Amino acid sequence: MRRNLTAYLFLTPVLLFFGVFLIWPGITLFFQTFQTGGIMSPAIVVGTKNWERTFIDPLVLKTVWNTIRYCLMAIPVVFIIAMVLALALNSVRIGHTAFKTIIYYPTLQPILIAALMFTFVLHQDFGVLNIIMRAITGNPVNFLGNESLAMPTIALVEVWKGVGFWTLLFLAGIQNLPRDLYHAAELDGAGPFRRFFQLTLPLLKPTFFFSIIFATIVNLQVFDSIFILTDGGPFHSTASTTWYIYRSLFTFNEPGYGATLSFVLVIVVLILTALQSFAFRDRN
């Protein structure tokens, strides 16, 4: 009892912080889903109207699909590039630290700076890339105003910004793998590709499990780059769930509906996380 009491005393500050800033706001937000108003006007209880509205609002389904589509674009690409860079860094002996610093540098940039950089590169009128394309072909490409190109362009921002973090994570996982297995595989005549697919990938399953879950949770909350680059356009082709939550709260003055959309996002995150957990558990 004394040991347990000591442990709980040490945990008390964290538990208080967790309860005050997460549990209590979550409970308050849940009750707000059954209300309308409450910020600029008095709160009025409307029952389940906000929840019923989510089933008939076409923008809810569109924003959820846009968010999932964004994840399907950004996560596989950034993982593939990060794995290639991690394997390359693992074989580099000279300038190892310098290369890691250069690769990790974009991760240190605030998303605001990253989005503005891509604006100056890709903007149809004054973007550097379009200035070059206009000089060569005479036809600029509207990356941010084209429905089919806008979302891949935003995903490119995440790839550029996140590749450094995932590269160092995969590199740490590779460097912690048992070297004896690789020496034995080399003696058996296994080439680099065979060692990668039969040793590296299977041994990195725990790292991949964490990476996929973490990347999914983070990318499902994409907002900043969309808000800065396209503001959900064109024609809501890049509108994410968090963008719709923000608009409901601060533009449409519907805090109750915004709270409901927040719980919709939580449900989507939980479902996708559970599916990924079961998929990896079956493989193991």
pLDDT band, residue 83 (cuts 50/70/90): very high
pLDDT band, residue 283 (cuts 50/70/90): low
Peptide bond just before 234 cis, omega within 30 deg: yes
Longest dimension (CA), the chain: 78
Read off the pLDDT of residues 94-143 as tens digits, 9 standing for 90 and up: 877 888 888 998 888 888 888 888 888 888 888 888 888 888 887 888 88
Domains assigned to the chain: 48-283 (1.10.3720.10)
Question: H or E segment at 85?
Answer: helix 58-91
The CA angle 37-41-45, to the nearest 5 degrees, is: 40
Read off the pLDDT of residues 214-244 as tens digits, 9 standing for 90 and up: 999 999 999 999 999 999 988 899 999 999 9
pLDDT band, residue 281 (cuts 50/70/90): low
pTM recorded for the entire structure: 0.86
Residue 282: predicted pLDDT: 54
Q: Stretch 167-176: mean pLDDT, rounded?
A: 92
Where are any strands of DSSP class E within 44-195?
Answer: 44-45
Q: What is the distance between the alpha carbons of residues 90 and 44, in angstroms, rounded to a whole number?
A: 60
For residues 44 and 36, the answer to whether their CB atoms sit within 8 Å is yes
Q: What is the distance between the alpha carbons of residues 151 and 66, in angstroms, rounded to a whole number?
A: 8
Virtual torsion, Cα 16, 22, 26, 27, nearest 10 deg: 0
Read off the pLDDT of residues 236-262 as tens digits, 9 standing for 90 and up: 999 999 999 999 988 888 889 999 999
Residue 50: predicted pLDDT: 92
> Which DSSP category does 127 fall into?
-
Tokens representing residue 272 in the block: 């996708």
